[in-house]
């Protein structure tokens, strides 16, 4: 996939000595494709310092997003996905102020590569869905403990995405202008 997307052949792969990279299936793949393997010494994360720092940055960003908007930890994977997405689309000095996405693909980054929408957690189905019409309220948060036991109904059409609840303050719609009505600000986008 990397070769198809970038036009470059993978020549070398550096990794720690994690079992996932040492199984016979991967060893055979590396040999079949002429990929050189470089393994760091056991218990020496400093040999892979750039990756270790980047992993720490990703974890800290994900923790911050979850904490700041009081999002439950079962959405951890989405927060990590969002953090990586943001990092890959922000300019970096290491690449002369272009984005990692642009350096890899040769084109300017957009919101999504495969779809034109936002990833939204559906409170009813407890699944992630894609939607193109979203209202963001960066100032408020969804109260997961208060609303977890109440019936929440999501409605969607071509022009709106929203949440209705018995509580008048828990209504979100595209026509709404009241700040307190925008209760789902912690939408996970990627």
- CA 69 to CA 80: how far, in whole Å? 15
The total number of residues written for the chain in this structure: 190
Task: Report pLDDT digits (tens) over 11-53.
Answer: 998 888 877 778 889 889 999 999 999 888 888 878 878 888 9
pLDDT (0 to 100) of residue 113: 62
pLDDT (0 to 100) of residue 147: 66
Task: Report pLDDT digits (tens) over 75-114.
Answer: 999 999 999 999 999 999 999 999 998 988 888 887 666 7
Give the pLDDT band (50/70/90) at residue 148: low
DSSP helix/strand/coil, 151? coil
β-partners of residue 165 are: 152
Q: Is the pTM of this model over 0.75?
A: no
């Amino acid at each position: 996939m990397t070769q198809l997307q970038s036009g470059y052949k993978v020549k070398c792969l550096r990794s720690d000595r994690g079992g996932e990279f040492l199984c016979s299936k991967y060893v055979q793949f590396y040999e079949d494709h002429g990929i050189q393997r470089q393994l760091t010494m056991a218990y020496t994360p400093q040999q892979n310092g750039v990756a270790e720092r980047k992993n720490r940055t990703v974890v800290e960003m994900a923790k911050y997003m979850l904490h700041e908007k009081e999002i439950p930890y079962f959405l951890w994977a989405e927060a990590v996905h969002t953090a990586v997405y943001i990092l890959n689309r922000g300019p970096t000095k290491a690449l002369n102020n272009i984005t990692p996405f642009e350096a890899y693909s040769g084109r300017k980054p957009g919101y999504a590569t495969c779809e034109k929408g936002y990833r939204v957690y559906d409170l009813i189905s407890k699944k992630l869905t894609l939607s193109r019409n979203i209202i963001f309220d960066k100032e408020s948060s969804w109260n997961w403990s208060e609303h977890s036991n109440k019936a929440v109904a999501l409605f969607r059409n071509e022009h709106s995405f929203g949440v209705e609840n018995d509580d008048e303050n828990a209504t979100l719609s595209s026509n709404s202008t009241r700040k307190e009505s925008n209760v789902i600000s912690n939408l996970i986008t990627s």
